[in-house]
Structure 1
């Protein structure tokens, strides 16, 4: 299958005007391969490259070829499946080659998971049911792991920190930003008996002074 459009153009695809990138062009499948359906072939490749997050023509062509194979239904590539997959890739907005590959895997896993769900719903015996259920379970676990990997890559490996219900008392200072120092946790004990036991005891000299003051006050 010839999957490369017959175009003569530079390898690197320049960024296009965002206003013109409202929708990625459709892919037309044929017995000879696929082609980008756009009246301006060069602009069509630019739009498709932007949609897929591809840096150059070779990357765009490779990801498209893989998505075409992943769209197979009934033994042949399916244009409806392929259009859906490209639309999902575009909506996630991959920003570099790593994200482009990961997002292509994500939409492919989703398509395969829904295909397994269809097989599970139409299983005719226990063997088919169990096989489809196992495959669906593995794919369903893979998809959120891919989402987590994409989020981790986009945040450069830094874990997300969520702070809720923060109150600052009188004279206190609130810190906004990343805090690297380990926080100390102070637990207030509201039990009076326990608070009395934990209260600091007066020193020996203070006890003697208090006792002497009490004696002087008791004398007539």
Structure 2
């Protein structure tokens, strides 16, 4: 059991609560063994099911309610299933994924409203503008999630590169040139090759 106290100052403690006007001290008791079971970790990425329930509630509340209880429950279940399929590994990923769900739902709602027939052009344009902003937000969140997971990083290994005095080594992306230029960079001496097979080998310039 863990207890979190919110103590008052000594002056407040010396004055009766009804006279000082200060709210009485509150003690929050947490059963760590019970609260960190993580039965719902697949949803929010946390060992704390209290946290996972918050993330699940926040994500499902971003779905537009139809008023049909059966349909609304099916949509909520769909959101929860989506959270599980995106496999949050910790609390940070749980938050990012929940925000991605919210951005997706809001963006699609704006796109839908933009397609309502008979509306004035300003409403149509505003809906599309908001949808565009939300789509950009979604992309930013996805990029942040991938960075957190260590994805999107390219690794290039350089081996056996010798640069003599006065020489120059070129390390970077070299695109294929037009006819008459370098046709096969792989055949160039002292080439630097990337682990990505789709990229060209990189030549190392040196003095003759």
> Shorter-normalised TM-score: what interval?
0.5 to 0.7
Residue of structure 2 in register with 1:50 after alignment: 42
Please say if residues 52 and 94 of structure 1, whose CA atoms lie closer than 8 Å, have aligned partners that are also in contact. yes
Q: Secondary structure at the match of 1:70?
A: coil
Cα distance in 2 between the residues matched to 1:169 and 1:11: 63
1:169/1:110 Cα in 2 relative to 1: closer, same or farther (>3 Å)? same
1:139 aligns with 2:134: yes
1:127/1:76 Cα in 2 relative to 1: closer, same or farther (>3 Å)? farther
- Normalised by the length of structure 1, the TM-score is 0.52
- CA deviations on 1:138-179 (whole Å, 9 max, x unpaired) are 0111111111111111118x84347999976699798888xx
Residue of structure 1 in register with 2:145 after alignment: 150
Unaligned runs of 5+ in 1: 1-8, 15-45, 178-183, 189-197, 201-220
1:69/1:174 Cα in 2 relative to 1: closer, same or farther (>3 Å)? same
Question: How many residue pairs align between the two structures?
Answer: 144
1:55/1:176 Cα in 2 relative to 1: closer, same or farther (>3 Å)? farther
* 1:102-141 equivalent positions in 2, closer than 5 A: 102-123=96-117, 124-141=119-136
1:10 aligns with 2:2: no
1:94 to partner: Cα distance: 0.8
- Normalised by the length of structure 2, the TM-score is 0.55
1:159/1:95 Cα in 2 relative to 1: closer, same or farther (>3 Å)? same
Unaligned runs of 5+ in 2: 1-32, 158-172, 177-183, 196-201
Cα distance in 1 between the residues matched to 2:187 and 2:91: 48
Q: Secondary structure at the match of 2:154?
A: coil
Please say if residues 67 and 85 of structure 1, whose CA atoms lie closer than 8 Å, have aligned partners that are also in contact. yes
Please say if residues 85 and 108 of structure 1, whose CA atoms lie closer than 8 Å, have aligned partners that are also in contact. no
1:175/1:13 Cα in 2 relative to 1: closer, same or farther (>3 Å)? farther
1:170/1:186 Cα in 2 relative to 1: closer, same or farther (>3 Å)? closer
RMSD of the TM alignment (CA)? 3.9
Higher helix proportion (structure 1 or 2): 1
Cα distance in 1 between the residues matched to 2:124 and 2:186: 57
* 1:1-220 equivalent positions in 2, closer than 5 A: 10-14=34-38, 46=39, 48-74=40-66, 78-123=72-117, 124-155=119-150, 159-161=153-155, 186=204
Cα distance in 2 between the residues matched to 1:171 and 1:11: 63
1:160/1:88 Cα in 2 relative to 1: closer, same or farther (>3 Å)? farther
